[in-house]
Amino acid sequence: MTADVTFLIVTFKSGESIHRCVDLIPKKYSILVIENSADNFFKSDLEKKYNNVKCILAGENAGFGKASNIGLNLVKSKYAFLINPDTLLTSNTIEQLIHYSQEINDFALLSPVMVDEEDKNYRIYKKKLLPINKSDYLEVDFIKGFAMFFNMSKFKSIGFFDEKIFLYFEEDDLCRRVRNLNQKIYVIFSSKITHAGGQSHNKEFNEEMDHSRHWHHMWSYYYYNKKHFTFLYALLITFDKVISYSLRVFFYTLIFNKNKKKYKQRLSGLLNSYIGKSSWYRPKV
């Protein structure tokens, strides 16, 4: 190995995307895949095809944060690069991250910049407009969870992801805890990666995964704001959504519109979070 880095990928029903992702990772790097199931075929298929891949079966759909923690706690290298299976490395993604990991010695997290597959558009990055033609880096408060480069020594005191969060806002929570401890987060402009977004799973599961995303987005939105601000603040910024979603469910029920399911899921996730229930919903796949 030329650098002390372990790649970490969390998967769930990702047979269509994982190979395309892994094929672009240089073979000199170790890859740890955490599969959110007990799918032995998925594990054996990956490990047979790639000599540098080890697949750990979580045994159940544990969620992104908990599965990431399983992998992060197994990492022995100095750095870990956590990516989604629907990301694609470009020719300079990891090399530039490694380069700046040596130049910036006080960082906790680094992130590449997301570009499209033709490498010609800038993107909104956590509400910041980041030009991709710069060659240096920028300190930020938050990065997106699909590509996070960990300086592992920093997380002995910080801890990893909050396992109460099944999906959504887990990276926001982690970044906020990083910044609260005055640790540094940087975006590296010369390191670029593509991210399809919402395509980590096989297409046949799209509808049910959408139901799950609607439920968990609202559960996590309330939980995150209650955790980091106050109960009253979280209630104030979500209560109008309870009214809106309730009215939409009622209206779409009357006209037999399929959008009823989406708003019913959002309402259910929010109400479950209100009463302190765990993020229990799981996609039925």
Mean pLDDT of 24-43: 96
pLDDT tens track for 132-160: 555 589 999 999 999 999 999 999 999 99
pLDDT computed for residue 198 by the predictor: 58
Where are the domains positioned within the chain? Answer: 5-195, 205-274
On the question of pLDDT at 119 being above 60, the answer is no
CA dihedral 173, 176, 177, 182 (to 10 degrees): 170
CATH topology of domain 5-195: Spore Coat Polysaccharide Biosynthesis Protein SpsA; Chain A (3.90.550)
The whole-number pLDDT of residue 197 equals 62
Place of tokens 């094929």: 23
**Two structure tokens written together for 239:** 């209560």
Burial class (CB in 10 A: 0-12, 13-18, 19+), 261: middle
Alpha carbons 171 and 267: distance in angstroms, whole number: 23
Q: What is the pTM of this model?
A: 0.91
**H-helix or E-strand containing 71?**
helix 64-72
